[in-house]
Amino acid sequence: MAQAIKSAKVLGFPELGMEAIYEFDVKDMPVTVAVDSRGESVHNTGPQIWKAKIEEGVVQVQ
């Protein structure tokens, strides 16, 4: 990942060091986006959706 980061700029809270808010310029870095187009985290909605599918019998758990 470090090789993919071409530059970094602190945007806020520089006094926090590594915990500051940064803007990164990256190239060829694979990522996984876990937020849908409505700003909902799939970590929250995904389990709810699959639980409902299992309860409806759409998906069977083995």
The alpha carbon torsion through 18, 23, 26, 30 (nearest 10 deg) reads 70
Grouping H, G, I as helix, E, B as strand and the rest as coil, residue 33 is: coil
22 and 41 in a common domain? no
Q: Would you report the helix, strand and coil content of the chain in percent, each value rounded to 5?
A: 35, 25, 40
When pLDDT is cut at 50, 70 and 90, the band that residue 46 belongs to is: confident
Which has the closest alpha carbon to 18: 7, 28, 8?
A: 8
36 and 62 in a common domain? yes
36 and 26 in a common domain? no
Domain count, the chain: 2
What domain range includes position 60?
32-62
57 and 38 in a common domain? yes
pLDDT digits (tens, 9 = 90+) for 7-41: 999 999 999 999 999 999 999 988 777 888 888 88
* DSSP bridge partners of 10: 22
